[in-house]
Structure 1
Amino acid sequence: MYNFRLFLVFYILIIGNTSLFAQMKGVNRQNYQIHINQTDKPIKIDGIFDEEPWITAERTGKFQRVTPTDTGYAIAQTVVMITYDETDLYIAAICYDPTPGKRPIQSLRRDFSFSGSDNFMVFIDTYDDLTNGFVFGVSAAGVQRDGIESNGDNVAYTWDIKWRSAVKSYADRWTAEFSIPFRSLRYFEGSTLWGINFGRLDLKTNEKSAWAPMPRQFKHNNLAFTGSLVWDQPLKKAGLGFSLIPYTTGRATKDNQTDEKIKWEGSAGFDAKMMLSTSLNLDLTVNSDYSQVEEDQQVTNLDRFELFFPERRQFFLENTDLFASLGKSGVQPFFSRRIGLDVPVIVGGRLSGQMGEGWRIGVMDMQTGSKGNTPSTNFATAVLQRQVFSRSNIVAFFVNKQVTGEYIDTLYSGSRYNRVAGFEYNHASPDDRWTGKAFYHQAFYPGATFSAATMSGSIVYATQYLRVTFDNSWVGSDYVAEVGYIRRTGYFETSPGLKYTFYPVGSKILSHGPSAYFDIIMDPEFKMTDRQTQLGYTIGWRNRNQLNFRISEQFVKLNRSFDPTNTGGIKLVSGSEFNWISANISFSSDTRRVLNFKVGSGYGSYYNGNKLTIVSSVHYRFQPYGSIAITASYNNIALPKPYSSAKLILVGPRLDLTLTDKLFITTFAQYNDQIDNFNLNLRFQWRFAPVSDLFIIYTGNSYTGDFINKNRGLSIKISYWIN
C-alpha cells in the first residue's frame, strides 16, 4: 500500500510536468527583452553615466511592484542599462527615491541581508535554463552582495568573486554601476540569449519591485520569471582563469580542564580555483584551515534525536548545491559537516559546472588525517544531473566513505567503508506553481539488507492564495549513511499541509490566513509512534509587523528511554506513550526600524508534565556602522517526581561593528545553563584587498556558575587572493 502511494505521487509529478511541457519556456521571456551591444569605448566605474555606451544603450521599461501588492507600477522607479566589451559585463542603474529621508542601510558588511537595506539586485540566468544562475547587487551605501543560484530560487551568498561597483547618491536618486568579468561567470560559449531580471528594494515606500513582473508569493530572485537578455553576437570563450588563495595561520590554545600548558601551532595551505571552460570549474584545497569560521548558534536541546547545525566553512559552501540538495530535510545522504570537523583536512578537490546543454556535474573528493581514535578517511561524492522538460531534472549520485588509516582501538569492529547511491527526480513547473521531489537511495556496507534504503515522494502546489503540500517517506531500519544526516531510521511518514492567505483591500492588514499541518510516523509494522496536528493563523500588517498563533496536539511512543529535559535525569521508559496539547503565540515587529524585536511564548502539557517557553530577540542598528542584538530563551519544564524538572536559560548577546566596508569586529557570547557552558567568540576581520583577509579570533568556554574558564584559544589567519 505504501509503495503504491509513493508511486502515485511520482506519477502525478511526471504527468503534471509532461502536461506543462508544451508551455512557453519562461513566463516573461517574450514580453520582457533587453538588447545588449558590444562597445569598444572605455567605461569608468564611478556611478556617473556620461560615457557614450550609456548614452546609446537600450533602457528598461517601468519596474512593476512585487510587494506589498503585485499589481501596478512601482512608486520608486528604476531604470537599467547594460553593455559589454571583450572582458567585462557592465550594468548601470538609476534608482529614483521619491520619499524624503535617510536611506535605510543595515551595515557595511559584504553580502548584507536583503530586507535590511535599500538595494538594487541583478539576477542572471546564464545557462538559459530557468534554474541556475548568478546574483549581483549593491546597497544604497555601495556594499556588494553576490551569490550563485540553483534550483530556481536558492542563492548561496557565500560565493565571492572579484568584481567592481560604484554608487553615487543624490537627493532624489542614487545610481549604481557594475563591472563583472566574464571570467567570473559560467556560461556556454556561443550563447546569444540569457535570462535576466533586475530587482529593487525601497524600504521607505515598503516596496519591492522588478523589471520582469512576478507574483508576490515567490522570491525576488526566482529565475522562472526572468526576462530575456538578447546579445548582439554569439559569446566568445572567456579563456582559462586561475586564482590562488594562499593562507597562513597561527594559534595558541590552553585547556584548563587538563592543566596542560599553552599549545602553540602554525600551519599554511592554499585554495585554488581554475576555470576549465566557460561552464566548468575546478576548486582545490590543501591543508585546509577553518579557524575564522564563526561559532554555531546554540539552541536549547529538547529533542530525542541529533540536532542539525548548518555548514559554515567556505569551501563546503561554494558551488555545492548539487551535493547539499540531495534527499530531504532529515534524510540527507551527504552532509559536509561529517568531513573534517574534528580532524584535519589534508587535501580536497571539487569539479562542478555544466557539461553541454542540460547536463550538470559535481565531483568532490576529500582526504582527512587522523586524530585521537579517528583514523584518516577518504570522502568521495559524485552527482550527475540532467535537465528534463522545462525546469525539472533527474539526478544520479554516489557517496563513498573509505577508512584509509588504521583504527587505534583494536577492539573496534566497525566497517571500513560506507556507500550510498541513488536516483532523484526534482520537479518544477514553468510558472513554479507545482514543485516536488521523488527519490530512492540505497546504502551499501557489510551486511546491508534491502531495508538499508530510503525513498520519498513530495509535491507542493502554491498560488498567491493557496499552498498545499504532501510528503510521503520511508526510511529503512538498516539505512546507514555515515556521510549524511539521518535524523532517525525505521519508519514510514506521511505529512500533508494546507495554508490559505487572504489579502484585504484598503486595510492596514496586508494579509492573514489559517494553516493546518498533520504528520504521522509509523514503525515497520505500521504501528503509530508519532503524531502531530498543528493549526495556526498568521496576520501580517503593511508596516511589516506580524502575529502568529499556533495550537498543537502531539502523540509520542518512545522508541528508547528519554529524559525530556536532556539534563541527565531519570529517563522515561522506552515504549511509554504520551499525548499532549500546547499553544504558542509570537509577534515580530517592523525590521525596517533601527530598533526591532521578536517575542513569543508557549504553554501546555509536555510528556508527563508541563512546559512553559518564552523566547525573544531584540535588534538595534546604529546604521551603517553596526548593530547590537540579544536573543534569549527560557524553558520551564515541570515533571512529577522522581523525574527531573528544569528551568533552562539560553542567552546570546551579539555586537557587530562594520567600521568601514573593509573592517569588521564581531563579539558573540552564549550562556547556556543546560550544558553548563558560557562561550565567548570575538572576531576581527580586515579585508585589505578584494577577497583577501586578515582574521584575529578569540574563543573561550567557561562554566555558567562561577565562570571559571574551561579552555581558550587565540588564532591569527591571513589569506590573499592572487589571480
Structure 2
Amino acid sequence: MKGPALHALALLALLAPHAAAQKQNESYQLHIHRAPSPVVIDGSAHEPAWESADVVNNFWMVLPMDTGKANVRTDVRMMYDDKNIYLSAICFHGNVPGPFMVESLRRDWGFGNNDNFIFFLDTFDDQTNGFTFGVNAAGAQWDGLLYEGGKANLSWDNKWTSAVKTYDDRYEIEIAIPFRSIRYKKGITRWGVNFSRLDLKTTEKSSWTPIPRHFPTAALALTGVLIWDEPPPSQGPNISLIPYALGGISTDHQANTPREIRHDIGLDAKIAIGSALNLDLTANPDFSQVDVDQQVTNLDRYELFFPEKRQFFLENGDQFANFGYATIRPFFSRRIGLGGVPIRFGARLSGKLNKDWRLGIMDMQTGAEDGQGLPPQNFSVFALQRRLFSRSNIGILLVDKESASYQSATRPPAPSTYNRNAGLEYNLASADNLWTGKLLYLRSFQSGNQKSGSVYAGHLQYNSRRWLLLGQSENIDPHYTAEVGYVPRNGYRRGLTSIGYTFLPEGGRILSHGPILNSSNFFDWQGKLSDYETTLGYTVTTRGLNVFTATAGTDYVRLLQPFDPTNSGREKLETGTVHRWNFWTTKFDSKPQSVLRYGFSTLYGGYYANGTRLNLTSTIGYRIQPYVSLTGSVSYNDIRLKEPWGHNTFWLIGPRFDVTLTNTLYFTTFVQYNEQQKNMNVNTRIQWRYKPASDVFLVWTDNYMPEYLQPGQNAPGLFAVKNRALVLKWTYWWNL
C-alpha cells in the first residue's frame, strides 16, 4: 500500500500551488458601516437607517443556467451597532404570477422546497468554516454552521431575530444577529459573505457572486468580501445557561412490568472563551424530544448507518464526525449514551485558535447499565486541524474509550477495558473548487494482548460543470477496531471509480442530462476478490426541475460469513458461496415548486442463491401552505428464493403529518409500519418556542405489535400495544 499512498501524496502535492490561488470573487465587495440610528426589526426595509447603507443587487443566475444575470431582482443591505449585525433584503417577484411557495413555518426548512433568502458568513475568511442564516417567504427561520467549505449543519440553534412583510410584488426581510451568537477573530475587518435567493415559481436560484451550477451557493471559496469600516465590536462576557425539567410516564406491556413514572432535571451551559472558542457543558442531558430514526427494510450484510440527531453532539461536531469516510469513521457519537445507557455529564471545547488553527476536545461520561452488563464508561476525543494553502487542511484525531470494569452477574468479563484510535488526514480543496481529495491513516489500540490495526485510504476528485472524475482506495486490516466509530467491515481492500459527464443544452425543455459510470471492487486481505458492483446510469433534469434516472448494474458476492438473505432470523447461506446477478433501477422526483410533490423508484433483478428481488418505493407530499404539510412513503420488497426461504414480502409504510400554526408552534405525527421488524411506531410531538431558543415539548410514543404475534391477547384491532411513553419537557435559554 505504501507505493499507491506515495503516488497519491505526490499528486496532491502537485495540486498544492493551485490550492493556494487567490480568492476567486475578491472583486465582489460590500462595505458595512455603523447604523446611524436605531433599527427596529419589523420587516420593513425602508426606515431611515437603511438609506445610508450600501446596497448590492444585480445577482447572478445559478439555476437553471449559470451563464448570465438573474431575472429575479434582490436588493441587500447590511449595517451594525454595538450589539448586532443587521441585514435587510427586498426580494421582488419574478414574471410568473401566483403566491410565494413555502412548505411550512417550521424552523430549518428544506432549501429546495421554499421561496427563500439565505446568506453566508465566513467570519475568519478561511473559506472553510462559517455561519448561515436565512428566512423563507413566510418568515420561518433557518440557521446553521458551515463546514468543509460549504456543507451546512442545521442542528446548530442560537438566538437571533427576523421579520418578514409581504406585498403584491415582493417580500421584505429584516434580520438582527447578535455578535454574541457567532464567533469571529477579534480585530479583523474582512469577512467572507454571500447572498442566495431561490424563487420556485421561476425555478431560479441566484447568488450575489457568480457560482457555477454544480456548486452550492454556500461554497465559501466563492464568497465575496464584507469590509468593515472598523473592527467588529468585542463580544464581552458571553455565558448562557439552558436548564431543563421534565416529567413522564411509560408502560411496557410486552415485558409486563409496572408503570414507570419519570422526573428529571439537567443543565447545559455555553461559555464563550474569547471571540472564537466555545465551551459547552452538560449535566444529566435528555434527548427525549429528538426525532425518531426513519426506518428502513434491512437487506444488508453489514451494520446500517443512522445519523446522529442529538443536538449536543451535532453542534460544532463536524471536526469529530467527519474525520475519515462515510464507512470509515473512527468516531461516531451514537456509540455514546443510546439504548438506555445514561449520560452523566460531558464537556466540549471547540472553535478557532486563529485563522489557521482549529481545535476540538470532547469528554463524555456514561453511567452503568446493568441490563446490558455495561459498566461506567468514559469517551474522550481530541481533534486539531491546521489550514494549508487557501482551503486545504491537515488534521489529527485521538479517540479513547475507557471502561471501569466489565464484571457483571449477567455478562462475562470482556477482553477489552480500553479502545483507542489515532488518525491523521490531509484534505485537499483547491481555491477554484474543482479539485478535492483526502489521504487518511488510522491506527487502533486495545488493552490486553489484542493486536493493533491500521487503515490506509485516499481519494482524488475532479468536479467541473461537465465532468466528474473520482478515484478512491481503502485498506482496512483485519485487526482494526473502532469501538466508538462506525466501521461496518474490516479486513478488506477496496477500489472505487466514478466517471460522469453532463450535457447542458442551451434551449428546450431539458436543463441537463448525462451518464455516470460507477465501479466498486472489494478484495479480502489476501487479495482475492470478494464482491463488486458496477453500474451505468443516466440522469435527465427538466427546466421545471423534474429529475429522472435509469441505471443498469451487475453484482458479485463471495460471502465471507454466513448470511440470511431475508435478515429475518431464518437459515443462513454458507461462508464461501458465490452469488452473481444483474439488475436495473429507475428513480423519478417531481418538481419542487408544486404543492403536490411525488416520486418513485424501482429495482428489479437477481438476488442471492439465484433468487429475484423486486423493490417498489413511492413518496408523496402535499402542502396547504404555509400551515400543513402531509407526506408519506411506501416501500415494498418482493424476494423470491428457493427453499427454505421461499417467497418473502416486506412492507414499510411511513405517513407524516406536520402542522405549523405559527413559526413558534409546531405539531408533528410520524407513523412507521415495518413488516420486517413486525412493529408499528407512532411518534407525536408538540413544540412551543415561547421565547428565542426556549421551548416546551410534549412527546407521545407508541410501539405496536401485530396481534397474531401475541398469543392470549384479546385487544381489539389489528395491533396491540407493546410499549407507550409520554414526556413533557421544558427548556429555557438564559443569557447571564
Instruction: Bin the TM-score by the shorter chain.
Output: over 0.9
Letter in 1 for 2:468: R
After TM superposition, the structure 1 = structure 2 runs for residues 372-391 of structure 1, keeping only pairs within 5 Å, are 372=370, 373-391=373-391
Q: Per-residue displacement from partner, 1:34-72 (whole Å, max 9, x unpaired)?
A: 111123521111122344431111111401100000021
Distance 1:546 1:49, change over 3 A: closer
Letter in 1 for 2:727: S
Q: Per-residue displacement from partner, 1:145-193 (whole Å, max 9, x unpaired)?
A: 1111011011111111111111111111111111111111111000110
- 1:58 to 2:54 alignment: yes
Q: Give the deviation of 1:487 after TM superposition.
A: 1.2
Q: Give the deviation of 1:234 after TM superposition.
A: 2.3
- Counterpart residue number, 1:639: 641
- Counterpart residue number, 1:483: 484
Query: 8 Å contact 2:128–2:149 — kept in the other structure?
Result: yes
Percent of pairs identical after alignment? 44
Query: 8 Å contact 2:445–2:451 — kept in the other structure?
Result: no
- 1:687 to 2:689 alignment: yes
Alignment partner of 2:719: what SS? coil
Q: Give the deviation of 1:322 after TM superposition.
A: 0.3
- Counterpart residue number, 1:356: 354
- Cα distance in 2, alignment partners of residues 206 and 446 from structure 1: 58
Query: 8 Å contact 1:143–1:661 — kept in the other structure?
Result: yes
- TM-score of the aligned structures, taking structure 2 as reference length: 0.96
Query: 8 Å contact 2:683–2:702 — kept in the other structure?
Result: yes
- Counterpart residue number, 1:14: 13
- 1:45 to 2:41 alignment: yes
- Cα distance in 2, alignment partners of residues 637 and 238 from structure 1: 61
- Counterpart residue number, 1:312: 309
- Counterpart residue number, 1:590: 591
- Cα distance in 1, alignment partners of residues 602 and 35 from structure 2: 60
- Cα distance in 1, alignment partners of residues 386 and 646 from structure 2: 54
- 1:233 to 2:234 alignment: no
Letter in 1 for 2:197: R
Between stretches 119-128 and 93-102, larger displacement belongs to 93-102
Query: 8 Å contact 1:672–1:704 — kept in the other structure?
Result: no
Query: 8 Å contact 1:201–1:208 — kept in the other structure?
Result: yes
Q: Per-residue displacement from partner, 1:89-121 (whole Å, max 9, x unpaired)?
A: 111111111332100011001111111111111
Query: Could you tell me which of 357, 360, 365 is aligned with 1:367?
Result: 365
Query: 8 Å contact 1:418–1:443 — kept in the other structure?
Result: yes
- Counterpart residue number, 2:668: 666
Alignment partner of 1:679: what SS? strand
Query: 8 Å contact 2:270–2:278 — kept in the other structure?
Result: yes
- Counterpart residue number, 2:81: 85
Name the Cα RMSD after superposition: 1.2
- Cα distance in 1, alignment partners of residues 633 and 319 from structure 2: 33
- Counterpart residue number, 2:106: 109
- Counterpart residue number, 1:630: 632
- 1:341 to 2:326 alignment: no
- Cα distance in 2, alignment partners of residues 205 and 693 from structure 1: 37
- Cα distance in 2, alignment partners of residues 321 and 53 from structure 1: 38
Query: 8 Å contact 2:421–2:444 — kept in the other structure?
Result: yes
Query: 8 Å contact 2:240–2:734 — kept in the other structure?
Result: yes
- Cα distance in 2, alignment partners of residues 692 and 607 from structure 1: 52
Between stretches 47-56 and 222-231, larger displacement belongs to 47-56
- Cα distance in 2, alignment partners of residues 646 and 98 from structure 1: 52
Between stretches 267-276 and 410-419, larger displacement belongs to 410-419
Letter in 2 for 1:11: A
After TM superposition, the structure 1 = structure 2 runs for residues 318-467 of structure 1, keeping only pairs within 5 Å, are 318-342=315-339, 343-372=341-370, 373-409=373-409, 411-446=412-447, 452-467=453-468
Alignment partner of 1:262: what SS? strand
- Cα distance in 1, alignment partners of residues 2 and 579 from structure 2: 30
Q: Give the deviation of 1:456 after TM superposition.
A: 0.5
Q: Give the deviation of 1:357 after TM superposition.
A: 2.5
- 1:73 to 2:69 alignment: yes
Letter in 2 for 1:397: L
Query: 8 Å contact 1:673–1:704 — kept in the other structure?
Result: no
Q: Per-residue displacement from partner, 1:311-355 (whole Å, max 9, x unpaired)?
A: 011111111010011110111000000000121111011000001
- Cα distance in 1, alignment partners of residues 492 and 9 from structure 2: 20
- Cα distance in 1, alignment partners of residues 112 and 574 from structure 2: 47
Query: 8 Å contact 1:569–1:644 — kept in the other structure?
Result: no
- TM-score of the aligned structures, taking structure 1 as reference length: 0.98
- Cα distance in 2, alignment partners of residues 53 and 719 from structure 1: 36
- Cα distance in 2, alignment partners of residues 337 and 482 from structure 1: 11
Query: 8 Å contact 1:584–1:601 — kept in the other structure?
Result: yes
- Counterpart residue number, 1:719: 731
Alignment partner of 2:13: what SS? helix
Q: Give the deviation of 1:607 after TM superposition.
A: 1.2
- Counterpart residue number, 2:710: none
- Counterpart residue number, 2:566: 565
Q: Give the deviation of 1:422 after TM superposition.
A: 1.1
Q: Per-residue displacement from partner, 1:224-268 (whole Å, max 9, x unpaired)?
A: 110001111123321121111100111211111121111111110
Alignment partner of 1:486: what SS? coil
- Cα distance in 1, alignment partners of residues 547 and 93 from structure 2: 27
Query: 8 Å contact 2:405–2:417 — kept in the other structure?
Result: no
Alignment partner of 1:14: what SS? helix
- Cα distance in 2, alignment partners of residues 68 and 232 from structure 1: 36
Q: Per-residue displacement from partner, 1:118-155 (whole Å, max 9, x unpaired)?
A: 11111010000011100010111111111110110111
- Cα distance in 2, alignment partners of residues 363 and 423 from structure 1: 16
- Counterpart residue number, 2:270: 273
- Cα distance in 1, alignment partners of residues 631 and 44 from structure 2: 37
